[in-house]
Amino acid sequence: MPGSNPLLRVLLTCLVLLAAGRAPAVELPDFTTLVEQYAPAVVSVSARTAAKDAADDPDEDKPGKPPVQNPFEGTPFEEPFRRFFEQMPHGNSPRPRELPASIGSGFVISADGYVLTNAHVVEGADTVTVGLRDRTELIAKVIGADKRSDVALLKIDGAAPLPVVRLGDAEQLKVGQWVLAIGSPFGFESSATAGIVSALGRSLPSDSYVPFIQTDAAVNPGNSGGPLFNFNGEVVGINSQIYSRSGGYQGLSFAIPINVAMDVAEQLKTKGRVARGWLGVLIQEVTPDLAKSFGLDRARGALIGQVLPEGPALKAGLKPGDIVLAFNGRPLLRSSELPPLVGSYLPGKDATLSVFRDGRETTITVKIEELPDDARQAGKAGSGTRRGLGLTLGELPPEAARKGETGVVVREVAPGPAARAGIRTGDVIVRLDNQPVTGVAQFEELAAKLGKGKPVPVLVRRGESPLFLALTPPE
């Protein structure tokens, strides 16, 4: 009987409603109140660089003079304007000073005129102009800009108390929540686009100290520096980057969490620079094979590939092959979660690391230091054979040995276990099965003791970077 089946009753009800033209409405979010209230606090940012006048260049109008260089070269606007400048008559080019070198967005965070935007929007600018919604334009002073986080703090004066945004907490965001971006894509001011939070804590190759918010809100060139609002009207991020093969929106937008941005802004305001915590290690992801080779129950944490000289990690006793499972009690699922946690930590304070070493978990206390300008160190490469693994090896060159470097150089990789592990010609093998490698003969001794068919960790130095790989000897 139909009435005894709840699912069937629901289906019959929907059919009746459809037949009667009364299908249940699906409510979508309404951002109109949010836009009316906070769009006035969103500004456009135009950054210009100085350029000489024609009077300063006596050859400016000579026949055959090359066309003026596209001032948008190297920016997202390069392609849209390329044809315009290629087709322009050589002697009638507009002065580069008349064109903005960079166009972006920003938002007012205090009534007395402090504005947040992206560092790349104002980079290298001689003059920065902020445009308000009432079409007022004001010259802004760049209080400071931080390239590592891509955050810049501006200050504008001469306006009445300005409308401001309301700041939220990016750590309360959840994947799937609605968000709204307001900015000036391609110069179209006060454009609003909506989407959802696609992912949290994203790490991008060029920005390891920012746990980006990924959204599918339409963000295009010109949106950079504009606010990302949650559904409650609170700013939770600064729109910073897009992932695109066309130069335009393709569904992948990234925003700097407002918590990170405000910490940077406060340091820029009070100190003129940003101090970040530094652990002094180079890390990589723990793959399932690497986890198995180290005896870890599952792939998690940050695998230390190199401990930098004179850094806090070395002083605390951390070693290559250690896997950091938690930082100050906060578990690490991926290695990309560690740099933002360390970077936001106050230099000079002690931090507690949960570390997996030699098959067991231990706790190590590290005094975090300030990140130096160059926290990387180089490694070098330099002839023997380990046929069972498919490797032809060589000793390091004398100059490398004099510098205290150790390891063996991979001269050739034949099909076999080493190739399957990802070892390449030119790699320097530094450790095998958690044992330091000092030469070809000693490598042979270590390799002869490896268990058959069981993956073991091998640490290589590739260029300037250390890399752990899981090597499985043949059975």
Give the start-to-end residue ranges of the domains of the chain.
39-156, 166-271, 277-370, 385-471
Per-residue confidence (pLDDT) for residue 234, from 0 to 100: 95
C-beta neighbour count of 194 within 10 angstroms: 19
| Catalytic-labelled residue, pool 46, 120, 146, 207 | 120
Helix or strand holding residue 436 (H, E): strand 435-436
Evaluate if residue 26 carries a pLDDT over 70.
no
Q: Is pLDDT of 296 > 90?
A: yes
**Looking at residue 94, what is its pLDDT?**
45
**380 compared with 171, residue with greater pLDDT:** 171
Q: How many CA atoms lie within 13 A of 162 on its CB side?
A: 29
Query: Of the given ranges (14-18, 97-101, 276-280, 462-466), which has the lowest mean pLDDT?
Result: 97-101
Architecture of domain 385-471 in this structure: Roll (2.30)
**Which of 367-371, 391-395, 405-409, 470-474 is predicted with the least confidence, judged by mean pLDDT?**
391-395
Handedness of CA 456, 457, 461, 465 (dihedral sign): positive
Greater confidence (205 vs 394) lies with: 394
Q: Report domain 166-271's class.
A: mainly beta
Identify the architecture of domain 277-370 in CATH: Roll (2.30)
Angle at 398 (CA atoms; ends 392, 401), nearest 5 degrees: 90
Say if residues 56 and 247 touch (Cβ distance below 8 Å).
Answer: no
pTM: 0.66
- Using 50, 70 and 90 to split pLDDT, how confident is the model at 51? low
Among all chains, which residue has been given the structure tokens 């009534």? 111
Contact 417, 432 (CB under 8 A): no
pLDDT value of residue 52 = 46
Catalytic one of 146, 150, 322, 433: 150
Whether 120 is a known active-site residue: answer yes
Could you tell me the two tokens for 158? 């001469």
* CA 196 from centroid of its chain's CA atoms: 19
| Rounded distance between C-alpha atoms, residue 277 and residue 101, angstroms | 33
Note the pLDDT tens digit of each residue in 371-401. 887 544 322 222 233 447 888 887 887 677 6
Cα 132 from Cα 115, distance rounded (Å):
11
More confident residue, 215 or 58: 215
Rounded percentage of the chain residues whose pLDDT exceeds 90: 44
Q: Is the pLDDT of residue 46 over 50?
A: yes
Q: For 65-79, 120-134, 288-302, which range has the lowest pLDDT when averaged over its residues?
A: 65-79
Amino acid at 25: A
Kindly state the tokens that stand for 78.
Answer: 């390069």
Confidence class for position 300, pLDDT limits 50, 70, 90 = very high
Which one of 224, 240, 253, 293 is the catalytic residue? 224
In this predicted structure, the answer to whether residue 119 has a pLDDT above a threshold of 90 is yes
What pLDDT digit, counting tens, does each position of 309-355 carry?
888 999 999 998 999 999 999 999 988 899 999 998 989 999 999 99
Kindly tell me the sign of the dihedral angle through the C-alpha atoms of 277, 279, 280, 286: negative
Q: What is the mean pLDDT of residues 211-220?
A: 92
How far, in Å, CA of 438 to CA of 407, rounded?
A: 5
pLDDT at position 178 is 95
Q: Is 150 a catalytic residue?
A: yes
Q: Do the beta carbons of residue 305 and residue 321 sit within 8 Å?
A: no
pLDDT of res. 22:
56
Options 1.10.3720.10, 2.40.10.10, 1.10.1740.10, 3.30.70.270; CATH of 39-156 = 2.40.10.10
**Is the confidence at residue 262, as pLDDT, over 70?**
yes
Q: How far is 46 from 284, CA to CA, in rounded Å?
A: 39
pLDDT at 439: 83
Q: Is 441 helix (H, G, I), strand (E, B) or coil?
A: helix
**What value does the mean pLDDT of the chain take?**
81
- Determine the average pLDDT of the residues in 445-468: 87
Q: How far apart are CA 280 and CA 165, in angstroms?
A: 38
Q: How far is CA 422 from each of CA 234, 447, 471, rounded to the nearest angstrom?
A: 46, 17, 9
Q: Which residue has the tokens 């007022």?
A: 136
**64 has a pLDDT exceeding 60:** no
With beta carbons less than 8 A apart as the criterion, state whether 351 and 327 touch: yes
* 8 A C-beta contact, residue 386 and residue 447: yes
Backbone φ, ψ for residue 445 (5° rounding):
-65, -45
Question: What span, in angstroms and rounded, lies between the C-alpha atoms of 48 and 367?
Answer: 43
Q: What share of the chain is helix, strand, coil (3-state, %, to 5)?
A: 25, 35, 45
Residue 230, beta-bridge partner list = 179
Q: Answer yes or no: are the C-beta atoms of 219 and 253 closer than 8 Å.
A: yes
Which of residues 158 and 109 earns the better pLDDT score? Answer: 109
**What are the strands, taking DSSP E only, across 41-126?**
42-48, 102-108, 114-117
**Smallest Cα–Cα separation from 420: which of 304, 289, 243?**
289
Helices and strands (H, E) in the chain, number of each type = 11, 28
Q: Which residue has the tokens 């409603």?
A: 17
Domain pair 39-156 / 277-370, same fold: no
Q: Which residue from 351, 288, 295, 352 is spatially nearest to 321, judged by alpha carbons?
A: 295
